[in-house]
Each structure stands twice: as structure tokens, then as C-alpha cells.
Amino acid sequence: MRVHINQINEGNILLKDVLSASGKPLMRKHTVLKRELIDVLHAFLIETVDIESFSETEQDKNVPADKSVTPFGAVYHAAVQGFKKLYADWHSGASVDISKVRNLLIPAVEHILQHPSEVFKTTGYTGEEDYLYHQSVSAALLSASLAKSSGFPHGDVIQIAMTGLLCDCGLTKLDQGFIQKKRALTAKEFDEIKQHPVHSYKMLKNIVSLKEAVKIGVLQHHERMDGSGYPLGTKGDQLHPYGKIAALAHAYQAMVSTRPYRHRQSPFLVLEQLMEDEFGRFDLSALKALRKGLLTFSSGTFIRLSDGRTAEIVFIEDQQPARPLVKLQDSGEMIALKEYRQLYIEEIL
């Protein structure tokens, strides 16, 4: 049933996807509407939605938006738009203003620290357009979340978030044409891209108000524990803790986001790839923090499997969070994904 936004209540379930003004999915069907999600709908000026099981008694209610709550969607998009402007300024030759960076980032970081599961929902706001800016902001927020989960004090959490955000500032020194191309890079283009951590470091190295740890982390965000990264092939204990976290955050966000030349992957599938196919390349403590974060997607989360069927997560095992016990929506059958290696979670709905 299609109803006005002011008539929905917490607990109502979306019958259809909700699209933003640009036509991109804002919320997926089967989403259970909680207060913060209702606030997001208001923030995006959504007037009507299709929901399941809506009684005439409920239809008479007029539920106002809670203006005291700042929805994550609005905070996140404000950070993305702020970073987009800074990126344009840097491309035009402006120096990095750390106070501006902090002002756009801190509100979103503080929200994530209070609502950790939100950091895994940023892909719902992203698409091919403006991918670069979304990548930097979402990686910054994930860096903050991983740092907090790993036990870093609050001051370091903020600095690690700054690291995640500034990693790609050096891309402004490269030809923007091939950065925005909707295809995979050529070998020559990739060689140029591999120098962007150096460009980023050079843009930051003389800023006295920025910690040296942030500058080193930015330089090392494409390095890997086994030495297979770039630009210097640094490995193991030579890598700074800030860089280790930023490396995982950027790799994860790149894999779960829609890119101009490939579709996004689900967080569960990406986690499985990082822990198996990419094992030994990323810091183990950061990976454990990522796994811990994905455990917040507990029973009741709706997902789509790789064969197209939809299901509900019933139970997540701590040792294999990417392969939970799920209940198929069409038949009610229970499937333990750990026993069906050909199946995997393709999308969180």
C-alpha cells in the first residue's frame, strides 16, 4: 500500500525499493523501518512509500519527523559534497586546509562511533557518479570504526579517519580524464595511478598541524603486509598502524562499491575474499575488527543470494560471519551457507 511519509510507523516494512531524486536506490524493499531510517526518508524529501501490512487505524495517524535526530544519510552526503568541493579546490592548486577537512569529517565520524552498523550501509548511497568522493569519505568512516573496534583512543580514531579521507588527495595531481574513465585502466595509466600516494604525501608533508602518523599512513595506504603493495613495497612491521587500517578500509570500500567498470560485491563476500584469497596481505587485527563489525548484521537482515533467491539471516557464527544460517523467503527452507560453498550472499537488502 502506498502511504504518505508522515503516516508510517516504526516496524513498517518497505514493499518496494525507495529511490532518491537521482533515481538511485535509497532503501531496498523488505527494509524494516526504524526511527533513524524514517528520518532519512524525510531528509531526502521522500513524500510517499509502499509498505506492507498497513491498517486503516494506522493510516489515520500523523507521525511527525523527529527533527532532533540528524539522519546518517544527510550527514554522510554533506561530508561527500564537502569533500567534492575540497577535491576541486586541490585540483585547482589550493593547499590542504586541515580545519576544513576536520569540519566536514567529524560530524559523520561521531555519528558512526555512536551507530557502528551504519558504516556498512554507505554503499546504499553510492553509484558510479561521484564514486571517488564517496570512496574517500566511506573509507574514512570505516577507518574510524576499525580503529575504535581495535582499541585505539578517541584522539587516534579521529586521526585515523583523517588518514582514510586524505589518502587520495594526490589524485588531484594526475590527469582527471583517465581517473573518470568507465573502463579498467591500461598498464600505463595504472603506473601513473600507483604514484598517487606519493603525491598525497607531498601535499601533506609540510602541514605542521597534521600528525606525522597521518602523513605516513597516507603514503602507505596501498602497501601490503606481504610487500606486494605500492609505491615502495614496504611490508610487515615497517608499516604504520594508521596505514594498515587505511589500507584495509580503502580495499574493502573499493570492493563493495559500484565502480565504472564493475558491479559492487556484498560485504559478506568481500570479507570472505579478504580473509581467504587475500589472506596475509592485510593486518590481522584490522581484519578481526572488520569481521566483528559485520556481526552487527544479526538475525532479521534480508539478503539476496548469488542464485537470485532472497533470504533472511537467522544466525551468524563468529568464526564464519560470511556464511550464516539463512531462511529462504519463498520456501521457508533453512540453509547453512557454510555447507554450500557455491552459494554466497550477493547483496544486503
DSSP conformation letters of 194-233: TTHHHHHHHHHTT-TTS-HHHHHHHHTTT--TTS--SSS-
* 37 in a structural domain: yes
Angle of helix 154-166 versus helix 131-149 axis, rounded to 10: 160
State whether 234 and 89 are in the same domain: yes
Nearest to 167 by CA among 254, 280, 288: 254
The 3-state DSSP class for residue 14 equals strand
Q: What angle do CA 276, 278, 284 make, to 5 degrees?
A: 85
Contact 53, 8 (CB under 8 A): no
Give CA–CA dist 290/299, Å, rounded.
18
* 126 in a structural domain: yes
State whether 233 and 343 are in the same domain: no
The 3-state DSSP class for residue 311 equals strand
State whether 221 and 150 are in the same domain: yes
The total number of structural domains that make up the chain: 3
Give CA–CA dist 8/65, Å, rounded.
10
Which of 294, 311, 328 terminates a domain? The answer is 294
Q: List the beta strands (DSSP E) in the chain.
A: 2-4, 13-14, 18-19, 25-27, 48-52, 302-305, 310-315, 325-328, 334-336, 345-348
Helix/strand/coil percent split, the chain, to 5? 50, 10, 40
State whether 23 and 127 are in the same domain: no
Angle of helix 35-43 versus helix 72-91 axis, rounded to 10: 50
Tell me the per-residue pLDDT of 85-113, one tens digit each, with 9 for 90 and over. 999 999 999 999 999 999 999 999 999 99
Give CA–CA dist 216/163, Å, rounded.
9
Angle of helix 131-149 versus helix 241-256 axis, rounded to 10: 130
Give CA–CA dist 305/309, Å, rounded.
5
* 52 in a structural domain: yes
State which residues form the domain around 49.
2-59
Residue matched to cell numbers 575474499? 273
pTM of the model: 0.75
State whether 156 and 289 are in the same domain: yes
C-alpha 273: how far from its chain's center? 17
* 38 in a structural domain: yes
C-alpha cell at 54: 498497513
What does the pLDDT read at residue 64?
A: 34
Torsion angle (degrees, nearest 10) of CA 148, 153, 157, 160: -110
State whether 119 and 146 are in the same domain: yes
What does the pLDDT read at residue 256?
A: 87
State whether 184 and 273 are in the same domain: yes
C-alpha cell at 183: 573502463
* 177 in a structural domain: yes
State whether 191 and 136 are in the same domain: yes
Each of the 349 residues of the chain gets a pLDDT tens digit; together they read: 788 787 788 778 888 888 876 666 778 777 778 776 787 777 677 888 888 744 333 333 333 333 333 478 888 988 999 999 999 999 999 999 999 999 999 999 999 999 888 888 787 777 667 889 999 999 999 999 999 999 999 999 999 999 999 999 999 999 887 777 667 778 888 899 999 999 999 999 999 999 999 999 999 999 999 999 999 999 999 999 999 999 999 999 999 887 666 677 778 888 888 888 778 999 999 999 998 887 776 667 888 898 889 999 888 877 777 788 899 998 999 999 989 888 888 777 7
What does the pLDDT read at residue 56?
A: 35
Give CA–CA dist 301/306, Å, rounded.
16
C-alpha cell at 135: 570512496
What does the pLDDT read at residue 306?
A: 86
State whether 130 and 88 are in the same domain: yes
Contact 314, 294 (CB under 8 A): no
State whether 55 and 185 are in the same domain: no
Instruction: Give the contacts of 48 (CB within 8 A, at least 6 positions apart).
Output: 2, 3, 4, 5
State whether 323 and 188 are in the same domain: no
* 334 in a structural domain: yes
The 3-state DSSP class for residue 2 equals strand
Side chain identity, residue 185 = L
Bridge partner list, 303:
311, 348
**What CATH number corresponds to the domain at position 150?**
1.10.3210.10
Contact 61, 9 (CB under 8 A): yes
* 160 in a structural domain: yes
Which of 59, 81, 106 terminates a domain? The answer is 59
What are the strands of the beta sheet with 13-14, ordered from one edge?
2-4, 48-52, 13-14
State whether 136 and 54 are in the same domain: no
* 65 in a structural domain: no
